[in-house]
A and B are shown apart, each in its own frame.
Chain A
Amino acid sequence: DARVTQTPRHKVTEMGQEVTMRCQPILGHNTVFWYRQTMMQGLELLAYFRNRAPLDDSGMPKDRFSAEMPDATLATLKIQPSEPRDSAVYFCASGLTHLSQGVYEQFFGPGTRLTVL
């Protein structure tokens, strides 16, 4: 049963600390998305990668957030330093891009619930 996995599932940290969230996309998927979900802003796209290359990170605060794909099986989202306003659920999703067809469907991971005190 192929699934997107994310770790940790929950994270509580203090303001100013570094937070790293990890995502393992479904094997064979070449596109990875990072989303943030809050009650106020809803679901926001932070960044996404295709074939490990960042395609769009315009939704991500550049001064404190960074996203990488060290290899095809791992995507990371890092916040340094973290702030209380970063408290949210962070979802990773993966999909398979076919040439000009884009990603037919994306599959979401279980999310990381981040609380910054």
Chain B
Amino acid sequence: ELKVEQNPLFLSMQEGKNYTIYCNYSTTSDRLYWYRQDPGKSLESLFVLLSNGAVKQEGRLMASLDTKARLSTLHITAAVHDLSATYFCAVIKLSGTYKYIFGTGTRLKVLA
């Protein structure tokens, strides 16, 4: 059964600092996604990672994928308050029912 774990679950950091959120999954997966959710809002797609070694960057966020280690990271550079949100990773296996499996989420709070 495909399982997805994120850590940390909660992260409080100062503006200007760097940090990394980790997403581990239990079996081979064909794609990995990162989403952002603001409080009381819906999920917004950030990145889609398709292959081993894939790296994508948008502003202060950079996501990477290591399929051999079954690990994805979301790196935050010089955090700003606007990045405060909950970040989810999700994986999908392109066989069977093609279900997305979501991680537990990482609640990030950036302190001014």
Contact = CB atoms under 8 A, between A and B. Distances in A.
Contact of B33 (A43, A105, A110): A105
Contacts of A34: none
B102 A42 contact: yes
B102 A43 contact: yes
Contact of B100 (A33, A42, A55, A101): A33
A103 B98 contact: yes
Given A101-B94, A104-B48, A45 B99 contact: yes
A38 B34 CA distance: 19
Given A102-B30, A103-B98, A111 B88 contact: no
Nearest to A100: B94
Nearest to A31: B98
Interface string A67-101: 00000000000000000000000010100010011
A102 B42 contact: no
B42 A106 contact: no
